Amino acid sequence: MEPMSTCKLFGAIRAVIGIKNTIPVIHGPRGCAYHIRYLLSVRSGSRIRICSTELSQEDVVFGAEDKLRETIIAVDETYKPDLIPVLSSCSTSIIGEDIQKVARELKDDINAEIITISAGGFESDQSGGYEEVLQTLIEDITIPNHLIKEADKPSINLIGVFRGGPDLLELKKTLKRIGININCVLTSGSSLEDIKNIPTAHLNYSFCDVSGITPCKILENEFKIPFTYYPFPIGFSNSLNFFKTLIDYFGLDYPIQKEYDKLKPSIDYFREKLGDYKAAIIAGPTRAIALASFVRELGMTPALVSMDLIGEYTLKELQWALEGAKTRILIEPELGEIEKLIIEEQPHIILGGLGESYFSYNLKIPVLDIMHGRELTWGFQGALSISQKILNLIKRRFKA
């Protein structure tokens, strides 16, 4: 009754807007475009362009393929994008508008590349939208256009990354120092050329448990590129193990352990300050698992871990992260279930997103919004930043 996951269209839009110079067209009423743009703007702090055919009541009864045609042409002429993803919504999926036919007919008349995604909100949750976009990009852009060449230096693709900002910059910087190149980030910040060049890399790293694994498997079958998915670089140890996995895979000689060792006094300091506190984690599975092991590293108790969705390897990873901990776990919960456990567990801090901020007001539990795209959370610098913010919030609230 009070779902904590959203619709397929949201996932599809979130995945496509990461691609450089891309403007999606939603074939549907204006509300879908407005609400999704609003939410994504708040989460990312960025200007986001999403166009819509803005269907009327008459359009959703009798169909509006002409309107779709006109909108695609107008978007192509006005904004000159490299890629126009055309997405159906609930109403146009129900009446069976043939967005593929319209895209096929326009292919040679517009400058942009065009892909189509069936994205009726009821078709699945957001994970279905993420996954279908990644799959469509690989099948429609990578496979037909790729060049057969191999990178001359160690090179990886990150699969299932939908947020750029300081996190991606931090990771790129550290990997460059190590001697590893990020070839393509599917999708955040990549160009169409990067997507065509995906097979150049030596390894794929899935960054999303619910949408990254299937595309990695497709790339493994098609191009024989192996993949890995664990750990996710949030936290000191998780980041160390993430970098070690890559250093070992490529047989590089880089003193990452020394970089970690230099951080030990800081880790000890945070452990001493935070050891008596409990955290609740409300996030997607990949982040939630990494955060759970991170708060344990800080000496805190992960009292509650709530995940909106789970993927193929989530439960196995969760077992590794929470071994021996007394943590209450919610999988695909409703909002009321989260509220109930928050009240029962009374955590000292919630690691979540903007949606959890009302806990600050109502229950006086501080919330750290680690979902905001401008927040640094990855790598050693991300671990330092989150630790300090957790400590600041707890100090302010509990005078620690």
Minimum distance from residue 369 beta carbon to ligand SF4 (Å) = 23
Are the beta carbons of 281 and 306 closer than 8 angstroms? yes
In the sheet with 181-187, reading across from the earlier edge strand, the strands are 181-187, 155-161, 203-206, 227-228
Minimum distance from residue 187 beta carbon to ligand SF4 (Å) = 20
54: left (phi over 0), alpha (psi -120 to 50) or beta: left
Return the sign of the alpha-carbon dihedral for residues 179, 184, 189, 193: positive
Tokens matching residue 117: 């995604």
Assign 22 to helix, strand or coil: strand
Of residues 121 and 366, the one with the C-beta less far from ligand SF4: 121
Of residues 32 and 158, the one with the C-beta less far from ligand SF4: 32
DSSP 315-356: HHHHHHHHTT---EEEES-BHHHHHHHHHHH--SEEEE-GGG
Of residues 32 and 282, the one with the C-beta less far from ligand SF4: 32
Of residues 12 and 292, the one with the C-beta less far from ligand SF4: 12
Minimum distance from residue 269 beta carbon to ligand SF4 (Å) = 45
Minimum distance from residue 48 beta carbon to ligand SF4 (Å) = 15
In whole angstroms, what is the distance from residue 104 CA to residue 314 CA?
Answer: 38
Contacts 24+ apart (CB under 8 A), 315-323: 317/209, 317/230, 317/285, 317/289, 318/285, 318/289, 318/292, 320/230, 320/293, 321/289, 321/290, 321/292, 321/293, 321/296, 322/292, 322/293, 322/296
In whole angstroms, what is the distance from residue 251 CA to residue 37 CA?
Answer: 43
DSSP state of 3: B
Query: Residue 336 class from Cβ within 10 Å (0-12 exposed, 13-18 middle, 19+ buried)?
Result: exposed
Of residues 123 and 194, the one with the C-beta less far from ligand SF4: 123
Of residues 75 and 87, the one with the C-beta less far from ligand SF4: 87
Minimum distance from residue 7 beta carbon to ligand SF4 (Å) = 3
Of residues 124 and 214, the one with the C-beta less far from ligand SF4: 124
Minimum distance from residue 87 beta carbon to ligand SF4 (Å) = 9
Minimum distance from residue 86 beta carbon to ligand SF4 (Å) = 14
Are the beta carbons of 20 and 82 closer than 8 angstroms? yes
Minimum distance from residue 10 beta carbon to ligand SF4 (Å) = 6
List of residues contacting ligand SF4 (CB under 6 A): 7, 9, 28, 32, 35, 89-90, 121
Of residues 9 and 225, the one with the C-beta less far from ligand SF4: 9
Tokens matching residue 16: 């496509």
- CA 21 to chain centroid, in Å, comes to 19
Minimum distance from residue 36 beta carbon to ligand SF4 (Å) = 6
Residue 73 to residues 12, 91, 117: CA-CA distances in angstroms? Answer: 21, 22, 18
Of residues 34 and 254, the one with the C-beta less far from ligand SF4: 34
Of residues 35 and 273, the one with the C-beta less far from ligand SF4: 35
Minimum distance from residue 148 beta carbon to ligand SF4 (Å) = 39
